[in-house]
Amino acid sequence: MGVQKKTRKYAQVKRVIGQRDARLKKNQLKAEADVHKPKGDDVVREIPQVSSSLFFQYNTALTPPYSVLVDTNFLSHTVRNKLELLPTMMDCLYAKCIPIITSCVMAELEKLGQKYRIALRIARDERWERLQCDHKGTYADDCIVDRVTKHKIYIVATNDRDLKRRIRKVPGVPIMSVARGKYIIERLPDAPEK
């Protein structure tokens, strides 16, 4: 029988009670004060007014030819899946569509560098419509969300989870994304069920 080696336990740390712990006296007093608060002081949250163009949950401003706002990662996923932009969009929507690329998306693609050169070449194509942005900075997500909330005439093409989450809060704006080697559309009124 050999001698057993003793190793140090590195992860042992002295446990400390945090400032917000409920067991502290000052935090218990705050909790009691919150319980005895009168009901008339409830917080009123502001709910944004839904646009009147969304009658019966449908956006009547969305008619062919569709205007599709294209995001940076949508272009990169399109390149990764070896899809053509316009024919695949038309197959998804069953109608004519106009891809629109904002100056923020172009700037983002140029910043990403050599890895995204093919996506940048697709974005620079003369067939797509260009929108000039008049705001500061080149953060495309804020630009797209701002445009969509002002004008409900766009379909947003993105694969970005955070951007999708933000756009879902805006009623009546469909989202297009790349999945399983094709484009899929989400929340388009009267979309054929498959």
Read off the CATH number of the domain in which 88 is found. Answer: 3.40.50.1010
pTM value > 0.85 = no
Q: What is the pLDDT of residue 194?
A: 47
* Spatial contact of 70 and 100, defined as CB atoms under 8 Å apart: yes
**What number of residues does the chain have?**
194
pLDDT at 9 over 70: no
Residue 50 CB contacts under 8 Å (≥ 6 apart), including other chains = 171
pLDDT tens for each residue of 154-186: 999 999 999 999 998 888 899 999 999 999 998
Lookup: tokens for 31: 């909790």
* Spatial contact of 171 and 146, defined as CB atoms under 8 Å apart: no
**Residue 156 placed within a domain:** yes
**Residue 126 placed within a domain:** yes
Number of domains the chain contains: 1
Domain holding 164, by residue range, is: 60-186
